[in-house]
Amino acid sequence: MLLSAKLYGIPRHDRQIRIDKILVMMKLSTRAHSLVNTYSGGMVRRLEIGQAMLHRPRLLFLDEPTIGLDPAGRKLVWEHIRKLNKEEHMTIFLTTHYMEEAEALCDHIGIIDRGKLSIVGSTKELKDKVGLGTITFVLDLKQSGHYTSEDLNSFFKHIPGFSIVQLKSDTWELKVPHPAENAPEILQILIHNNFRVKDLEIKGPTLEDVFLKFTGSHFDEGVSRNEWKTIKGRRRTVRRIT
């Protein structure tokens, strides 16, 4: 931390004050005098973020800040990133392969595929462009009788983009555009046709759906095993140097 403070040109009288404050913020005070190679992965990530904060930048770039962390470590780093954004008024650009991380942290999301920016927008804007989600419902078979997906298909065929699949003997999943908007009508149709609904779950489109729609592929598609090993090796080398 002291070396970073010197490299950033922070005045001598201000260095230790800033370092102590960041160590407290990053919950590293008790390990301030431990060798970094004794740190866990999460502690190293927090230390790296702390180093980047020393000169109080208005703009901070984070490259996959939670890669390799367990859920607890990832959550802690998320908390610090939110704090930097809200309390320090810092604009943050981050790259991630975790869609839930992008959704949890980012106001605007850009999806990059094969080196090109495919689409940019807020989480809601991106999901609205996909539209398709699921409505899963469980029927009381004693009251409703036994039906196949073909039987149920006739009740919903007027809904554009609709499809249905039977998950269990009493459970069906509908794929429909804008499920939250269509759910009341679907529930009304079931009740009108004397179906007893025990449970109903609505799930909108996910960022994974957005990724697939606008790239037509999955992560790292087209990269061979040997190429991926080379990429990871380069990343390790860069991290050692930095």
Fold topology of 132-204: Alpha-Beta Plaits (3.30.70)
Q: Is 132-204 in the same CATH topology as 2-106?
A: no
Q: What is the pLDDT of residue 205?
A: 84
State how far the Cα of 206 lies from the Cα of 110, in Å rounded to an integer: 15
Looking at the domain covering 2-106, what would its CATH class be? alpha beta
Give the integer Cα–Cα distance in Å for 48 and 66. Answer: 11
pTM, two decimal places? 0.63
Give residue 16's pLDDT: 93
Amino acid 237: pLDDT: 46
Average pLDDT per run of 10 along the chain, which is 242 residues long?
92 93 88 92 87 89 86 85 87 92 93 89 88 86 68 79 84 85 87 86 86 70 49 50 45
Q: What is the pLDDT of residue 129?
A: 84
Q: Which two tokens stand for residue 112?
A: 């990059």
Question: Exposed/middle/buried for 12, CB within 10 Å: 0-12, 13-18, 19+?
Answer: exposed
pLDDT attached to residue 190: 85
Q: Where are the domains of the chain?
A: 2-106, 132-204
Long-range contacts of 51-55 (CB under 8 A, 24+ apart): 51/1, 51/4, 53/22, 53/84, 53/88, 53/90, 54/1, 54/4, 54/5, 54/8, 54/10, 54/18, 54/19, 54/22, 55/8, 55/9, 55/10
pLDDT in tens, 165-204: 888 888 888 888 888 888 898 888 888 888 888 899 988 8
